[in-house]
Structure 1
Amino acid sequence: MPRRALGRIRRQLTQYQRTTFLLASGLSTAGSFAGLTAKGWLLMEGSGNPFLLAANFALLTLPTLLVSGPAGVLTDRLGSERVLIRAQWALLAAAVLGAIAIPISSGGQQDALLLLSTLGVGVASTYELTARNKYVALLVDEPEQLGPYLASFSVIFNVGKLVGPPIGGLLLAATGPTLALSLDAATYLLPILTLLWLMTPYRERERRSASGSGASLATAWRDCGPALRHVLVFCGLACLVGFFHPGLAPLMALNLLGPSPLALGLFTSVIACGSISAGVVLQRNAQLWSRRPGLLLGGSTVITALGQLGLSLQAPQQWGLAMAFLIGGGTASLLAGTNLIIQVHAPQVIRGRMAGLGQIAFLGGGGISGLMAAGLTAWLPGGLWSCFALLGSFGAALGVVELLRQGRTRLA
């Protein structure tokens, strides 16, 4: 068969693989949020203790901050495919633990097993995300395809975040907790089967780090160059002043929409729709935006800040929901844009560690931001509205300075 025909067949195969892997990841993401919703309901119904809800979410997110560095180092040393497959098996095991906790335990013991399951999902998902960021570069035929494909995962993540919770609630009501959590666990089989039987990545492209000090997180920070270091630092600062809505979402929904049980669902859905819209725009223009870090990240920070300043006006609900849409779009483009830039422009050998550094910037800045916003809400005379005004002002200033200083910067 002519070489040109073989190349065309190979390109068609990799396109099929990319689509299949993306869909499998999306279904797994939706299953994760469905399972988290079901566990939260079970914890709240069993004990009536809101602290368990907070602990359930904290056990999902905090491991990312602690484990991202080691996950990046391991990915660069062992190879992204090996770490990704092991992480998927670990996700399946953690989800199965949540499912079997219902029939084999009750009361406090059941709560402990559910929380342990969430902790396992949090740790394993950190390794999964870090390895996946490096692995997707092995699925594209040309370097120009990497940016749009990476940005597609941001879209699919936010779609899963939007549809997962209502699916979890419906499954819980229709099938009961055991079957609902079992179906959640089953979704992790899809990426495993895809990776084991359908994927034929360009394994020869991957560059692994040697053991020793050269494989450390500090080495990746030094070797990535000043432009990418600036991207990581700016992302952390922007998250510090603008990424507090995940932690304060219930309070924001209460003040904006009232105490209705549907208020939080509507508020988070609007933010998710903003995130999806921003992800689609970024995916379609990934090649352009990945070369303009100052313009992308500075603009994203200004958009988020405008949403916060708009909420501080205490205008009608429709205006508030529009501002929530802006916050969702701004924060999504900041996080996805940072990941896009550091993956596309970092050397292949350090991309696992760069993914870990990116997650530390997201969650380090965002975690402190939530605590800071909560403290400002309690301390300032105007409460939440004054917090919006103060942090929105800082965010607007930070974004404008970035646009003025780095807006014309172009990466090769």
Structure 2
Amino acid sequence: MSHPSPHARQRVIFLIASGLSTAGSFAGLTAKGWILMDETKAPMVLALNFAALSLPTILVSGPAGVRTDRVGCERVLIQAQWALLGAGLLGALSIPVFDGQAQVLMLLASTLLVGIAGAYELTARNKYCALLLDDNSELAPFLTSFSVVFNVGKLVGPLLGGVLITLAGPATALTLDAATYLIPIASVIWLLHPRTELEERSAPGDKASLRVAWRECGSTLRHVLMFTGLMCVVGFFHPGLGPLIAASELGNTPMDLAVFTSVLALGSIAGGLLLQRNSHRFCRRPSRTLAGFALITAVAQLGMAHGGDVPFLLAMTLMIGAGTAGLLSSSNLITQVGSTQILRGRMAGLGQIAFLGGGGLSGLIAAQLTVMMGLQATFAISGTLGVFFAVLEIWRRGDSVLTEIRSV
């Protein structure tokens, strides 16, 4: 009877620690969203909250990738996790200490700091994963396993957040968010033993820059990043406007928001599982994969614009979750598997700029459109543009193949 390798057990530990932390994070995000919705009733504030989480990646992910490739992913990962703990505690303390506009500003500041620290954490974690492998072929399935675990956390976290807000108040949910960051910190410091001798670090100077990574990654990966950014600007605004969508379609209680977010997460899990089971095949056809997931999201947005009863709208929400998660996870997977080890920190940074930076801009655009034209019209515009660009991508580049699959 064969036994799992030490690194296989460590991969499981890393996945579990990350999943528990993710669940706590989404409990906290649910609490913040509900507080901001309850305090302000303003779509733009909700969009600003998501933008504070995502837009820092435009400025921070580049330096995060450069630092990861320069000083080592393990060191950056630990530092980022401590920073996430501090940012989470700031949000928890804002509830008993502040109220009114000051509380809203402190919550937004907490989210901004989480976004900055999270950019470093995600960039370092992507490169760190390759150091927990026994064989090169394990990279794609392991990276997609993180997508599944992340989306399971998205499912459990909002339900937990809704229950905690209802029973114990938002401060408890935000405190739990902060405390869960201790789990991955402890696992990386004491339990995991990555193969650090395999890590390639860049030398200081111009060759360590983001510009060099963009030039050396190749035309296929550059197009993957550009198409991902385009599709995120077109339609990845739902996390930011989730409380508004839930209040409009289901109701404005914390549990209504939790149900909506959890259905979105169920779709994300489905998209992640589909990608995991086809990770190598999907990597080979990057344009077809990315455009296919984008098309699922766009069609579902048109369904939301059309409207219907609650089961239909939840089905469209499920599709949005699947399409969005598939797009983001496959973009990350393709850029990591298709790049060399020395570039992976910076490629993760470029990927974050594409999908989180694009998503933050999209949230602000969608919030303004919602104020001007209404939520259904916003869905219609986003869905129509999404269908157009996805179909165009399949028509023009659907047969393109990623032939240079790199080693660990």
| Same fold? TM cut 0.5 | yes
1:148 matches 2:141: yes
Instruction: Provide the rounded CA distance (Å) in 2 between the counterparts of 1:42 and 1:369.
Output: 22
- The counterpart of 1:281, out of the listed 268, 274, 289, is 274
Change over 3 Å in CA distance of 1:112–1:235 after alignment to 2 = closer
Structure 2 CA distance, aligned partners of 1:122 and 1:331?
Answer: 19
Are residues 250 and 97 of structure 1, via their aligned partners in 2, closer, same or farther at CA, if it must alter by over 3 Å?
A: closer
Q: CA RMSD in A?
A: 2.8
Is 2:376 the partner of 1:385?
yes
Offset at residue 255 of structure 1 (A): 4.4
Q: Out of 161, 178, 181, which is 1:188 matched to?
A: 181
How many angstroms does 1:177 deviate by?
5.9
Offset at residue 314 of structure 1 (A):
2.5
Note the 1:171-250 alignment, pairs <5 A.
171-172=164-165, 174=167, 180-250=173-243
Q: Is the 8 A contact 2:162 2:255 kept in 1?
A: no
The equivalent residue for 1:315 is 308
Q: Give 1:55-134 correspondences, 5 Å limit.
A: 56-100=49-93, 105-107=97-99, 114-134=107-127
Q: CA deviation at 1:44?
A: 7.0
Say if 2:166 and 2:254, in contact at 8 Å, map to a contact too: no
Q: Distance in 2 between matches of 1:158 and 1:118?
A: 20
- 2:370 and 2:45 mapped to 1: Cα distance? 23
- Kindly indicate whether residue 393 of structure 2 is the aligned counterpart of residue 402 of structure 1: yes
- The one of the two structures with greater contact order (alpha-carbon pairs below 8 A, sep at least 6) is 2
Distance in 2, matches of 1:89 and 1:18, equals: 21
Report the Cα distance in structure 1 between the residues aligned to 2:227 and 2:70, rounded to whole angstroms. 28
Change in Cα spacing, 1:112 to 1:410, as seen in structure 2 (3 Å) is closer
Output the CA distance in 1 between the equivalents of 2:233 and 2:132: 34
CA distance in 1, matches of 2:246, 2:93: 34
Residue 24 (structure 2) aligned to one of 31, 37, 51:
31
> Shift in Å at residue 182 of structure 1?
3.9
Q: Which residue of 2 aligns with 1:340?
A: 333
Partner of 1:158: 151
- Compare 13-22 and 239-248 and name the one that shifted more: 239-248
The change in CA–CA distance for 1:179 and 1:249 in structure 2 (over 3 A counts) is closer
What is the aligned partner in structure 1 of residue 406 from structure 2? none
Cα distance change on mapping 1:180 and 1:315 into 2, 3 Å: closer
Q: Matched residues in 2 for 1:256 and 1:49: separation?
A: 15
Inter-partner Cα distance in structure 2 for 1:302 and 1:14:
37
Decide which moves more: 65-74 or 130-139: 65-74
Q: Secondary structure at the match of 2:204?
A: coil
- Contact 2:26–2:154 under 8 Å retained in 1: yes
- The alpha carbon displacement at 1:82 in A equals 0.8
- Secondary structure of 1:315's counterpart equals coil
Q: CA deviation at 1:179?
A: 5.3
AA matched with 2:380: A
Q: Deviations over 1:29-58 (max 9, x none)?
A: 11112233445566677x667576665444
Give the stretch that moved more between structures: 55-64 or 172-181. Answer: 172-181
SS of alignment partner, residue 203 of structure 2:
coil
Instruction: Deviation per CA, 1:204-244: give whole Å up to 9, x if none.
Output: 11111111111111111101000000000111111122212
Tell me, yes or no, if the aligned pair for 2:250 and 2:310 is still in contact at 8 Å. Answer: yes
Shift of 1:317: 3.0
Partner of 2:402: 411
Whole-angstrom distance in 1 between the partners of 2:378 and 2:165: 37
The CA deviation string for residues 254-296 of structure 1, in whole angstroms up to 9 with x for no partner, is 4444666654333322221111111011112111111110121
Q: Give unpaired runs (5+ residues) of structure 1.
A: none
User: Structure 2 counterpart of 1:19, which letter?
Assistant: V
1:400 Cα shift?
A: 1.6
Q: What is the CA-CA distance between 1:331 and the residue it aligns to?
A: 1.0
| Structure 2 CA distance for partners of 1:177 and 1:312, relative to 1, 3 Å | closer
Task: Tell me, in whole angstroms, the C-alpha distance in 2 between the residues paired with 1:176 and 1:370.
Answer: 27
**Structure 2 vs 1, CA of residues 295 and 112 (structure 1 numbering), >3 Å: closer, same or farther?**
closer
Segments of 5+ residues of structure 2 without an aligned counterpart are 404-408
Bigger radius of gyration: 1
Q: Distance in 2 between matches of 1:391 and 1:176?
A: 35
Normalised to the residue count of structure 2, the TM-score between the two structures is: 0.88
> CA offsets per residue over residues 355-408 of structure 1, 9 Å max, x none?
11111111232233233334444555xx43343333322221211222222222
Over 3 Å counting, the alpha-carbon distance change for 1:351 and 1:391 in structure 2 is: same
3-state SS, counterpart of residue 290 of structure 1:
helix
Change in 2 beyond 3 A, CA 1:223/1:85: same
- More deviation, 348-357/315-324: 315-324
* 1:293 partnered with 2:268: no
